[in-house]
A and B are shown apart, each in its own frame.
Chain A
Amino acid sequence: MAIPKSSRGVVSEWLFTADHKKIGLMYIVYSLLFLVIMGIEAILMRIQLAHPHASFMSPQAFNRLFTLHGTTGVFFVAMPILFGFGNYLVPLMIGARDMAFPRLNAFSFWMTAFGGFVLYASFFAGGSFLQGGSAPDVGWFAYAPLTSTTYSPGHSTDYWTLSILLAGVGSVGGAVNFIATILCMRCPGMTLGRMPLLAWMNLVMGGLVLVTISPLTAAQIMLMVDRYMSGHFFDTAAGGSVVMWMHFFWIFGHPEVYVLIIPCFAFVSEIVPVFSRKAMFGYPAMVAASVGIGFVSLGVWAHHMYTVGMPSYGNAFFVLTTMIVGVPTGIKIFNWLATMWGGKIRFATPMLFCTGFLFQFLIAGLTGIMLATAPFDWQLSNSYFVVAHFHYVIVGGILFTIFAAFYYWFPKMTGRMLNETLGKWHFWIMVIGFHLTFDFMHIPGLLGMPRRVYTYEPGRGWETWNLLSSIGVVFQAAAVLIFVYNMIQSYFKGAPAGNDPWDAWTLEWATTSPPPDYNFAAIPEVRSRRPLWDIKHPEDPDWKYE
């Protein structure tokens, strides 16, 4: 194929790049693409559930949609978008010219990318397209024995396993890179105690990825041994155990929530101080709380398995550890509030999204404490209450802070500001849509509606709440459309950002927007946690008080 020379340059510039900023942007654009896809899947499911006895889609198509929606959301939206921001920001914020291993970085991105492509290639393999081809239909945690060749003939489950294996290799590669970068590439003077909290939290996230994604990889290898070599890991007829899969999956699955939320805590910890015009309150406590969450999260997994049945000391252990997570998380919330307290708060769009996060994440945490209580969970496990709870975390917590991060760092990445008016529309419509959908989703759960049903009987008191949830999706979709329009419009016509549009204090704002390939003409040296404050206020620098 003859590609014109100029465009060949552009293609190879991105295809073969090992630059952390380009790879970061590729991660982000890739995830946004999958965010739209998973959003469409959610819309289709909400149409089906808006009324009882709806026949918008077949049960089979519904199973495929919720499987893809969950798998995509965790592995191909949330993980890569956070890796993208981390990739872009960590080297800039620690005053480095690139990640520790640039080529490993490119390799990790492409492994993750191919994972997503393999998952969606399943649509075009076997079966009719509108029924979902042979897309996987085993749910995002794919409990055994549903995944055995008996119950999942054909290759739909293989697409799921392979895509997660590929993405897992990419994630571990990325995590190795984050850890090596943060520990080994800091500019002179950037001691661990002066690192921006974003770098600290990405370090914790990297460590968690190492010890949580790997068990998932191990479990997927076992599943492939079972499926391809007629092994017996999860084959009860040969003495294997299906509960073993649940343990292995949730040893990954629960810390994964913290893998996702900790980088979001990092966004909030960078944005809240800048828009409150105060230094972060309780920096050491924030670091300790992040590391603490990382460790405690490794011992909570079986709270997903109360209904499987455990001895009472097992129940007690997992109830206690799960509740203990609330302590460092609470410390963080109080620290953000204390940072805002008495500050000169500017409610620009990034700050609005962070404020929304604070309220919503608090509620998500509280329903989490409810579900952590074994007897309560026995009633509501696998109900819509659980679905509402974790969407409160993922949408109300994670997605809101990701939007905040976009509004905050888009100027650095592109050199242009996002439109504030559109940003405020985006925020308020998103808030309305989010609360319509997920506040009311708790109620059918409390009334006994199980998750993953493709339809339900009328007359159980579920109809109104489901309809309201579905209506909320319209608002959320509108908000995301505004956001996408804002990004495209601002990319070409937004107001020029300059180096430091927010009057911020961390190193990424010391270079041009967008930064040159080499990030910094001269490697900076720092003497405090807020190097740009020191430059802007030579008469009253931070380092005097450290």
Chain B
Amino acid sequence: MSAIPAAMAANEAPWKLPSRGRVGMLSLIIAESAIFTIFVAAYILYIGKSISGPTPRQILSVPIFITVCLLSSSLTMHWAVAALRKGKTGSFALFWFATLALGAIFLIGTGREWHHLISQEDFTIQTNLFGTTYYSLVGLHASHVLVGLIALAIVMILALLGKVKCEHWERCEVLSLYWHFVDAVWVVVFTVVYGLGR
């Protein structure tokens, strides 16, 4: 086949399309946002509807430190990608590691909070409606952090092996979109769980 004439008009602009990695990741983020929207909606609609205690105010303390860690990891992630784009693989690895570490601190912080709630306060997903919505929403977010950390760790290992080069900056940027999304979701979850709901 293929006698399609290649007669492009000379004055047409050069043919340029968006990057499929970015479009694919943004589509995934839209889908993920829809999942979180439903969980957040359920959380908000169930605020104060629990028939038995404890209430959020009695047992939740605001996790300021880990929130600062997670939000600043977006910044280090941004610097890492910018460094790679300029070909500075050394500072890329450094900032990437900082992102990984800050994310890990966040996850450990969430784990400690849960451990405290379960062992000290005897508060589980079964305790009441608040427990169900709290552990589901925070857990859904934490699982996304975990997935992000695994992806970050794979890139970190490749970087330590010297396999991440300047030409990979766009792939790292696609991954960074996911990480920024996870951070942005935490802003919403934080506001709803520790602000509105408490």
Contact = CB atoms under 8 A, between A and B. Distances in A.
Interface hub of B4, B9, B37 (most chain A Cβ within 10 A): B4
A535 B136 contact: no
Interface string B1-38: 11111111100100101111001100110111111111
Nearest to A507: B4
B50 interface: yes
A525 B9 CA distance: 11
A253 to B, nearest CB: 13
A101 B31 contact: no
A510 B2 contact: yes
Contact of A101 (B24, B45, B132): B24
Given A231-B136, A239-B51, A522 B4 contact: yes
B46 A240 contact: yes
A206 B24 CA distance: 11
Contacts of B136: 221-222, 225, 231, 233
Contacts of A215: 34-35, 37-38
Contact of A511 (B2, B23, B34, B50): B2
Contact of A238 (B27, B30, B129): B129
Given A215-B37, A239-B46, A184 B18 contact: yes
Nearest to A186: B17
A510 B4 contact: yes
A314 interface: no
Given A225-B136, A510-B4, A188 B15 contact: yes
Interface in A386-435: none
A176 B34 contact: no
B160 interface: no
Contact of B34 (A189, A214, A225): A214
A307 interface: no
B50 A239 contact: yes
Given A230-B126, A522-B2, A525-B7, A180 B35 contact: no
B45 A244 contact: yes
B88 to A, nearest CB: 29
Interface residues of B, number: 45
Contacts of B24: 100-101, 104, 176-177, 179-180
A397 to B, nearest CB: 26
A382 interface: no
A185 interface: yes
A41 to B, nearest CB: 30
B35 A206 contact: no
Nearest to A104: B24
Interface in A225-246: 225-226, 229-233, 235, 237-241, 244
B39 interface: yes
A306 to B, nearest CB: 20
A231 B102 CA distance: 31
Contact of A229 (B2, B5, B36, B125): B125
Contacts of A219: 38
Given A179-B27, A215-B34, A233-B133, A525 B6 contact: yes
A211 B28 CA distance: 10
B110 interface: no
Given A215-B38, A239-B49, A100 B8 contact: no
A465 B24 CA distance: 50
Interface string A484-497: 00000000000000
A172 B31 contact: yes
Contacts of A241: 45-46, 49
Given A232-B128, A232-B132, A527-B9, A217 B42 contact: no
A183 B6 CA distance: 21
Interface of A: 100-101, 104, 172, 175-177, 179-181, 183-186, 188-189, 206-207, 210-215, 217-219, 221-222, 225-226, 229-233, 235, 237-241, 244, 248, 251, 499, 507, 510-512, 520-522, 524-527, 531, 534-535
Given A104-B24, A218-B34, A239-B129, 4 more contacts: A100-B23, A189-B15, A232-B131, A525-B5
Query: What 4 pairs across the A-B complex have the smallest Cβ distances?
Result: A214-B34, A524-B4, A218-B38, A184-B20
10 contacts: A172-B28, A179-B27, A183-B20, A184-B17, A186-B17, A210-B30, A218-B35, A238-B128, A251-B38, A525-B6
